Amino acid sequence: MKPTLLLSDLHLAPERNDAVAAFLAFARGPARGAAAVYILGDLFDAWIGDEQRDEPFAQSIVDALRGIADAGVPLFIARGNRDFLLGDAFARAAGATLLDEQTVIDLAGTRTLLSHGDEFCTDDTSYQRYRAWTRDARNRKRLLRLPYRVRRWIGAWLRRKSRAATARKPESILDVNAGAIGDAFRRLRVSRLIHGHTHRPARHTTMIDGAARERIVLADWHDHGHYLEVDQAGARTREITG
């Protein structure tokens, strides 16, 4: 049985050569032998509108994604906090399906919730205000009506502001909130949750109403890539370089 592959927080950008090389190796290799591929947000370090596909770097990533889809592998991509402006034109070019903020699937016989994961960081109230603004369809439309060069400036400004704000915040509020995680397990009646965003890869077992539930946090990509491989035999973490 072919495994399903899940990854998150690649933050691909022209200057991140090692991560880009690892992703291209992933797209040419393991991804093409998968039952399905799920990218759970922040594929790009920034996405300021689907016109970005006109830039050579972005087009190279879109072409790599299309190669996965053209190999007959179902490809699903979630928007993250860095690439929340991914749109339908991008999805068509990549041969991908854009996911909702939360998606429940049957993953190797286990009812599983997939998410980027930032909605669970509820202790970080300033970030949640920002997240609510970016997830509002009206605000996205307003942004996309701005000239592309203006959006590029705004994107760079937001990244600088985000790095500075994160550096000032206590570590305790940057991780997920246990209550928010428990609410999601109960509301969606899932046995497993897979997410990214926090850059704190781990596997957690949580007792919810007397039953053990599993939470898997995907790793972010730096000098090499990381993905989760899931099939009937279980879930395994894998690494890949360029």
- Domain segments of the chain: what residues? 4-240
Distance between CA atoms of 65 and 58, rounded to whole angstroms?
Answer: 11
Q: Exposed/middle/buried for 105, CB within 10 Å: 0-12, 13-18, 19+?
A: middle
Provide the Cα torsion 175, 195, 131, 54; round to 10°.
130
Residue type, 73: V
| Region of residue 227 (left: phi > 0; alpha: psi -120 to 50; beta: else) | beta
Q: Is the pTM of this model over 0.85?
A: yes
Q: What are the tens digits of pLDDT across the range 173-204?
A: 889 999 999 999 999 999 999 999 999 999 99
What is the structure's pLDDT at 168?
A: 73
> For 93, phi and psi rounded to 5 degrees?
-65, -35
Euclidean distance between CA atoms 66 and 60, whole angstroms: 10
Q: How far apart are alpha carbons 70 and 93 in whole angstroms?
A: 11
- Looking only at the bridges linking them, the beta strands covering 225-231 and 110-115 are unpaired
What is 4-240's CATH topology?
Answer: Purple Acid Phosphatase; chain A, domain 2 (3.60.21)
Q: How far is CA 136 from CA 40, 43, 65, 188, 195, in A?
A: 19, 20, 27, 23, 21
Q: Is the predicted pLDDT of residue 67 greater than 80, yes or no?
A: yes
Amino acid in the structure at residue 78: A
Tens-place pLDDT, residues 117-169: 999 999 999 999 999 999 999 999 999 999 999 998 988 887 787 777 677 77
How does 202-226 read in b/e, with b if 16+ C-beta sit within 10 Å?
Answer: eeeeeeeeeeebbbbbbbbbeeebb
Q: Residues of the chain with pLDDT > 90: what percent? A: 87
Average pLDDT over residues 99-103: 97
- Please give the angle made by the CA atoms of 77, 95 and 154, to the nearest 5 degrees: 55
Q: For the sheet containing 202-208, what is the strand order?
A: 102-107, 110-115, 192-195, 211-217, 202-208
